[in-house]
Structure 1
Amino acid sequence: MASRPSSSRARRALLAALVTASVALPVSGAAGPSVVPAPAPARLAPLDTAQPPVLDARYAAARHEIRAARDMAARHGDRRRAATLTGMAGPRRTFLMFDGRDGGRGVEVFGDLSRAGRIAVLVPGAGVDLDHYGRLRRGAEALRGELGPGSAVVAWLGYRTPSMLSPASFTAGRADEAAPALRAFVREVHGARPSARISLLCHSYGSVVCARAASGLDVSDIVLYGSPGTGADRAADLRTPATVWAGRGGDDWIGRVPHTVLTLPFGAVGFGTDPVSPEFGAEAFDAGDAAHSDYLRPGSAALRAIAAIAAGTAGSRHA
């Protein structure tokens, strides 16, 4: 009987957070990154091999799209976006795809994908778009450095992320939109590098995206960190043969988010069971004292643990 008051409090807290976000977002986010125009990108042929000439052609095509978006942003008068895109179009940057519309999409590779035996795909959470891409890039670079030679890290900004603490970040709508694209991308990578070990690393709201895409994905591991929940009661409900891992840092505010589901007339709000709880049934990893946005901070316990999972060297109860 003691769990009922606790559950009721969690539901009230979640509803209060949703109402607060609904009031605050129109005031603070009226002029967001989605208002910057960009051209529609050319349709890409599937990446059926990771041979260097094929990858080089794909990278060149994406660079062309980035420069086109940069020029349109400059004509629009958005110097910040134009400067961001100028950096992305640099000769050492390697994007598999790019679309500058509606906040932006991009898939950037760190390392040599043509030779990688270990591939880690980073799926970001709320608040990551072209104007806030730097933190995703820094995390990818740190992870690539920790993994070392023979690995590649892919930063998959392949969906329209919700704004941080916006109403959309409390529901699975954006994740449902993103899941087919994530499934298609992982299949493409697996087809191009069939012998590689692929891990899906899912931060914050990105863990909801990964949960929606999990069924049928040919990956070795699904790593949930800084997660508000996945919408599933148990890891087994994700219906994946991959090992599901979960970790949360000691300084991460996401631990105070109510882990419940509130059914409202327009749909469900919240993501249910806490992924780091024993009842969820994921493999736990030590995330140290990580705050919400620094799980991939160089030298951190969380980065070391996540890299070990991606490398296939982390211990598991099911190993």
Structure 2
Amino acid sequence: MVSHSPGSRLRRTLLASLVTASVAVPVSGAARAAAVPAPVPAASAASAPLPAMTPAALDQRYTVGRAAIRAAERTATRNGDRWRASMLHAMTDPTRNFLFFDGRDGGRTAEVFGELSGAGRIAVVIPGADTNLDKYGLLRGGSMRLLQMLGNRSAVIAWLGYRTPGTVSLEAMAPDRAEEAAPKLRAFMRELRTAKPAARISLLCHSYGSVVCARAASGLDVADIVLYGSAGTTVDNAAALHTRATVWATRSTGDWIAGVPHTRLHLPFATIGLGTDPVDPEFGARVFAAGDGGHSDYLSAGSLSLRNIARIVSGQAPL
């Protein structure tokens, strides 16, 4: 029998950090995104609850979001942050719709894809580490492809509502950022349910986003919680999420995160590790196939994972 001493677990955790570092983007990008200045959003825009989901109410909300983005664009331009200014200018396109926007500290936003007012199916996508306004394309592209798969009477919301950890950091192996994010996600989901009481709502949680979803899950009125590309959720099993939602899990065969040790190590200064692997039978989630893509490929065009996630959101069994 192999002994798993604390020292051995620590070595495996450090090894996991090296594995992560070998495939991650440079951390300088994440640091830069957080350092770009942006104005404080108007109090009414930052704290207003979701409106009644009529086209007129949503148009008004989207107009407020667009104004906040333009203000952040002007600030970025004055400070010479050309990349951020360019990204923000693209976001002001009148065909794009944002429920809220805050450009500070890397950025917080929720972009809507599809007609939310008439949607009977809604998927809320929670991104993982190193997602910010400067690296927003992956979240946006995946959300758009998912909407195409879902078809009519569907909407997708890309929820970048928290300060994501850097991929190459101990924060990505600890629950602190998720603890900060969970109350915000829980409030957003409850407001969404109030505004859309008859819709079938699914929570899609990628990578570190699965930790956020796990911390927010208790009591949420959603049909599904889908964990994909997850290193863990900080709980031992799906029952510990205290949710009536169906909990799904998947990992593609080409995802490097499979090499991250699924354990929790309690150190004097922190707890490192995210616990049980969600695709482990002992976790108790409904495991489905994701194909052979990499860690960032779950919502890629033509992928098995995209097809299966779309089927789950639609209330169908995965392939």
Q: TM-score range by the shorter chain?
A: over 0.9
* Structure 2 match to 1:138: 141
Distance 2:269 2:74 in 1: 40
How far 1:11 moved relative to its partner?
Answer: 3.7
Which portions of structure 1, spanning 4 or more consecutive aligned residues, are displaced by more than 2 angstroms? 2-11, 15-22, 24-31
State the secondary structure of the residue aligned to 2:38: coil
Residue ranges of structure 2 left out of the alignment (5+ in a row): none
Contact 1:84/1:130 (<8 A) preserved: yes
Contact 1:146/1:307 (<8 A) preserved: yes
How far 1:46 moved relative to its partner?
Answer: 1.1
How far 1:18 moved relative to its partner?
Answer: 5.0
Contact 2:120/2:199 (<8 A) preserved: yes
Distance 2:26 2:139 in 1: 25
Letter in 1 for 2:37: P
* Structure 2 match to 1:147: 150
1:170 paired to 2:173: yes
* Structure 2 match to 1:239: 242
* Structure 2 match to 1:38: 38
How far 1:27 moved relative to its partner?
Answer: 7.8
State the secondary structure of the residue aligned to 2:182: helix
Q: 1:100 to 1:268 in 2, by over 3 A?
A: same
How far 1:61 moved relative to its partner?
Answer: 0.1
Q: Which of these residues, 37, 50, 54, is aligned with residue 53 of structure 2?
A: 50
* Structure 2 match to 1:14: 13
Q: 1:29 to 1:87 in 2, by over 3 A?
A: closer
Alignment of 1:52-71 (within 5 A): 52-71=55-74
Distance 1:30 1:309 in 2: 32
* Structure 1 match to 2:104: 101
Q: Once the two structures are superposed, what CA deviation does each residue of 1:36-92 show, in whole Å capped at 9, x if it has no partner? A: 100011124212410111100000000000000000000000100000000011100
State the secondary structure of the residue aligned to 1:200: strand
Q: 1:263 to 1:269 in 2, by over 3 A?
A: same
Distance 1:150 1:242 in 2: 21
Q: Once the two structures are superposed, what CA deviation does each residue of 1:140-185 show, in whole Å capped at 9, x if it has no partner? A: 0000000000100000000000111212111100000000000000
Distance 1:77 1:34 in 2: 15
* Structure 1 match to 2:270: 267
Could you tell me the TM-score, scaled by structure 2's length?
A: 0.93
Distance 2:221 2:32 in 1: 36
Letter in 1 for 2:257: I
How far 1:26 moved relative to its partner?
Answer: 10
How far 1:4 moved relative to its partner?
Answer: 3.3
Distance 1:151 1:4 in 2: 50
* Structure 1 match to 2:80: 77
1:283 paired to 2:286: yes
How far 1:5 moved relative to its partner?
Answer: 3.8
Letter in 2 for 1:15: L
Q: Which of these residues, 159, 162, 173, is aligned with residue 159 of structure 1?
A: 162
Letter in 2 for 1:207: S
Q: Which of these residues, 206, 213, 221, is aligned with residue 203 of structure 1?
A: 206
How far 1:30 moved relative to its partner?
Answer: 8.5
Pairwise CA RMSD of aligned residues?
Answer: 2.2
Distance 1:27 1:136 in 2: 18
Q: 1:302 to 1:6 in 2, by over 3 A?
A: farther
Letter in 2 for 1:92: T
Q: 1:240 to 1:4 in 2, by over 3 A?
A: farther
How far 1:29 moved relative to its partner?
Answer: 6.1
Number of residue-to-residue matches in the alignment: 314
Distance 1:45 1:31 in 2: 29
Contact 2:110/2:160 (<8 A) preserved: yes
Distance 1:245 1:3 in 2: 31
Q: 1:48 to 1:89 in 2, by over 3 A?
A: closer
Percent of aligned positions that are identical:
59
Distance 2:280 2:18 in 1: 27
Distance 1:246 1:113 in 2: 26
After superposing the two structures, state which structure 1 stretch, 219-228 or 37-46, moved more. Answer: 37-46
Could you tell me the TM-score, scaled by structure 1's length?
A: 0.93
Distance 2:224 2:159 in 1: 16
Contact 2:19/2:259 (<8 A) preserved: no
